[in-house]
Amino acid sequence: MAATYRQPGVVLTDRMFTVPLDHERPDGEQIEVFGREVVSTEQGGGERPWLLYLEGGPGNAARRFVGREAWLGRALKDYRVLLMDQRGTGRSTPANRQTLPLRGGPREQADYLARFRADSIVKDAELIRQNLTGGAPWTVLGQSFGGFCVTRYLSSAPEGLSAALVTGGLPSLDAHADDVYRAAYPRIERKVAAHYARYPQDVDRVRRVAEHLAEHRPVLNGGYRLTVEAFQSLGIALGGGSGSHTLHYLLENAFARTLTGLQLSDAFQEAAQAALSYAAHPLYAVLHESIYAQDHRPTGWAAERVRTEFPQFDAERALASDAPVLFTGESVHPWAFTCDPSLSPLRETAELLAQRTDWTPLYDAGRLARNEVPVAAAVYHDDMYVDTAHSLRTAHAIKGLRTWVTDEFEHDGLRQGPVLDRLLALVRGDA
């Protein structure tokens, strides 16, 4: 039964939907997908059209807003909004180290999770749409990986859409994971250089932390094994609007002077573990490279393999010279399943997914070229997470798509600026 309650300025209704695990077998095993309906208290839902929000990820639940935070207030002027926890996340049937052993061993777990990509997410959304709207199409808003899902939606079920909005999430239609990371490392290097230019004192701080980690290989208070490579991955923050500042403040309190000498401070350990742990969103790590897999080629830990082509990211080499230690960005590596106690039980499952070859195509270039759905996309110039050149090629491949390219925001621009207002104006022909 749906539960309805209030927050400042909004009425929320929690809804649970039953969908097939495998949409090719609609009468087979069922799982649950959770959605939170949000309407304005002043205007109510009434006959307002629906807007479905698809969160970034993979593996992230829909954002938990309080009231009309971020873009939600603007959306509620025109829509009733559904915040959907994509399968396996949030209040949907969970998939994590605690629940996946119920499926069986690593092989059974990998087979199960192979059905958690954008194609299945879109089919879930279509069943939910028919339940909520009586068959009327809805507008869909996709942030980051949510934009990958929107592109899949346009490829497979455009009849379900009245309009499509994408922010920082136009994927390449045909790039292999190797191509994605080969394009990513130079962008990451630019973001790190910009951070060090803003905070030159961090060059020495990062080096000192890396030297300490290389010598001591500490286990953080929460159980995370903080290796040099794991420390470098804190650079994922540099893709967000305030990420450089957040990283700087983390580094300035890295050490505490103790009776036994310098140790990593409790404050640093707490913040680092919070930033690095996948406990709240393990599917982000387990499924990350599979979001690029569609050509019957294994992803094979592409980020780890391609990194060897960029030796400037080798911390050991940097520490042996006077080169700065570089952070890395949005990538998942095999060592994460050794360092992170929330991932270590899933190490074999992740390896099986990395070697899997039966991935089917996610996008239909021919159908996208004939698209009739109004589409607008914000492409963030030099986005650290999604390659701008890949996004623009896809934008040109989708008939009628209107693109807004901006360097005013980073990848999380939807949270920080009037991005939704601009996209709505574009998709309605008002800009």
322 carries an active-site annotation: no
Distance, in Å, from the CA atom of 180 to the CA atom of 119, rounded to the nearest integer, reads 20
The gap from C-alpha 121 to its chain's centroid, in whole angstroms, comes to: 14
pLDDT of the residue at 1: 66
**80-113 residue pLDDT tens:** 999 999 999 999 999 999 999 999 999 999 999 9
pLDDT over 90 (residue 391) = yes
pLDDT over 90 (residue 45) = no
Question: Of 144, 156, 172, 342, which is the active-site residue?
Answer: 144
Distance, in Å, from the CA atom of 6 to the CA atom of 280, rounded to the nearest integer, reads 26
Question: Of 27, 321, 322, 358, which is the active-site residue?
Answer: 358
- Asked which of 41-55, 159-173, 250-264 is least confident by mean pLDDT, the reply is 41-55
Mean per-residue pLDDT over the chain, rounded = 96
**402-416 residue pLDDT tens:** 999 999 999 999 987
Q: What is the DSSP letter of 219?
A: B
pLDDT of the residue at 416: 73
411 carries an active-site annotation: yes
Confidence class for position 431, pLDDT limits 50, 70, 90: confident
**290-348 residue pLDDT tens:** 999 988 899 999 999 999 999 999 999 999 999 999 999 999 999 999 999 999 999 99
Rounded average pLDDT over 58-87: 96
Rounded average pLDDT over 153-167: 98
**358-388 residue pLDDT tens:** 999 999 999 999 999 999 999 999 999 999 9
421 carries an active-site annotation: no
pLDDT of the residue at 388: 97
Question: Of 290, 383, 411, 412, which is the active-site residue?
Answer: 411
Q: Under CATH, domain 3-174+363-427 is a member of which superfamily? A: Alpha/Beta hydrolase fold, catalytic domain (3.40.50.1820)
Give the helix/strand (H/E) hosting 248: helix 243-251
Cα–Cα distances in Å, from 80 out to 46, 50, 55, 349?
9, 5, 17, 39
**How is the chain split among helix, strand and coil, in percent rounded to 5?**
45, 15, 40
pLDDT over 70 (residue 61) = yes
Q: Where in the chain is the domain with CATH 3.40.50.1820?
A: 3-174+363-427
Q: What is the dihedral of CA 259, 262, 266, 270, to 10 degrees?
A: -160
pLDDT of the residue at 196: 98
Among 93, 131, 109, 175, CA closest to 361: 175
